[in-house]
Amino acid sequence: MSEKVSERFVVTLKKSLMCVISFAPLLNFSKIQAMESPYSKQKGKRAALIIAHPGHELRVHHWLEEAKPVVLVLTDGSGRTSKSRLESTTRILQRAGARPGSIYGRFTDAGIYEIMLQGKSDLVLPLLNETAEFLIAEQIDYVAGDALEGYNTSHELCRYLIGAAIELARRKTGREIANYDFLLTGRPDECPERLRANAIHLPLDDAAIARKLAAAEGYPELKHEVEGALKQFGKILFAQEWLRPVPNHTGINLDHAEVPYYESYGEKQKAAGHYQHVIRFREHMLPLAQAMWAEVEKVNSGSPCAF
């Protein structure tokens, strides 16, 4: 990797680490306790977790234990280094009873950055088709994955991929697959009122919190960030997990009135001489999302898709 490319990843790596543990303070228990979790609807169903970076699984650790999903991870989490952090995620999956799927650290972070920057749909479309085939072969009933937060471009790409792959699988088989997201930088208790009736909510008991903390503290690449988060917020921040229902089209219809964070941040880095190029929503991300949906549209839909 060139030095300039490496420099571009300094912050990307830090963000990918921080996004995992930047849990927020606390929770509105009065609202949560008044609700009955709809998780029972999905209990026993076949689940997949699809995330951009290894380590994201910590945010939904108890769901991981409960649902035991098959897990796809787009990058190896190497950032600007040559060291993958997939092994740490593999340990967590094994202890939770989950398992890696067919796409597991497919790209380096440098590689996926270049894919987005150069708009390499010839690499993204095979990934889309492979993900759809995975959903079909594993007979997945519902998927949880990165939310679209405008924060990290790999997270955004992952969200585009999930929605398009679910729709592609649905069109090919006629089977519905439910689509959920979870926040990586936002408050873990953030779930809009209008979504709560159909969201998966897991309040963690003391034992589940302890296991989640042990998993986070046992992730050596994130040790510093986990310690910082615990010191700042305390363990209670780990006590809620929300998987929120999300439309498959999320992102593609998004008309950013405001410049997304990743773009404004990239502009600052470029101005400071740290970046040569800035990944932008309209120039880079939206065309990739549109290319994926054009691929989806090649398969006729049997029925209107609510999502």
Interacting residue ranges for Zn ion, rule: CB under 5 A: 16, 19, 53
Least distance between Zn ion and beta carbon 31 (Å): 28
Nearer to Zn ion, 8 or 53 (CB): 53
Sign of CA dihedral 250, 255, 259, 263: positive
Joined tokens for residue 262: 């990743």
**Smallest distance from the beta carbon of 55 to Zn ion, in angstroms?**
7
Q: Please check whether residue 200 is in contact with residue 182, taking contact to mean a CB–CB distance below 8 angstroms.
A: no
Min dist. Cβ of residue 16 to Zn ion (A): 4
Q: CB nearer to Zn ion: give 134 or 151.
A: 151
AA letter at 129: N
d(CA 169, CA 175) in angstroms, rounded, equals 8
CB of 151 to Zn ion, least distance (A): 9
For Zn ion, the closer of residues 52 and 166 by Cβ is 52
Closer residue to Zn ion, CB minimum distance, 16 or 269: 16
**What is the C-alpha to C-alpha distance for residues 154 and 148, in angstroms, rounded to an integer?**
10
What tokens does 128 get?
């889309």
The answer to whether 55 and 17 have CB atoms below 8 angstroms apart is: yes
For 35, phi then psi, to 5°, come to -105, 150
**Nearer to Zn ion among residue 155 and residue 170 (C-beta):** 155
Question: Tokens in use for 182?
Answer: 């979870």
The full DSSP string for 29-61 is HHHHHTSPPGGGGTTTS-EEEEESSTTGGGGGH
Taking alpha carbons only, the member of 184, 172, 307 closest to residue 241 is: 184
With H, G, I as helix, E, B as strand and everything else as coil, classify residue 255.
coil
CB of 154 to Zn ion, least distance (A): 6
Q: What is the DSSP letter of 130?
A: H
Q: Given the complex with Zn ion, which of 57 and 65 has the nearer CB atom? A: 57
Least Å from the CB of residue 52 to Zn ion: 5
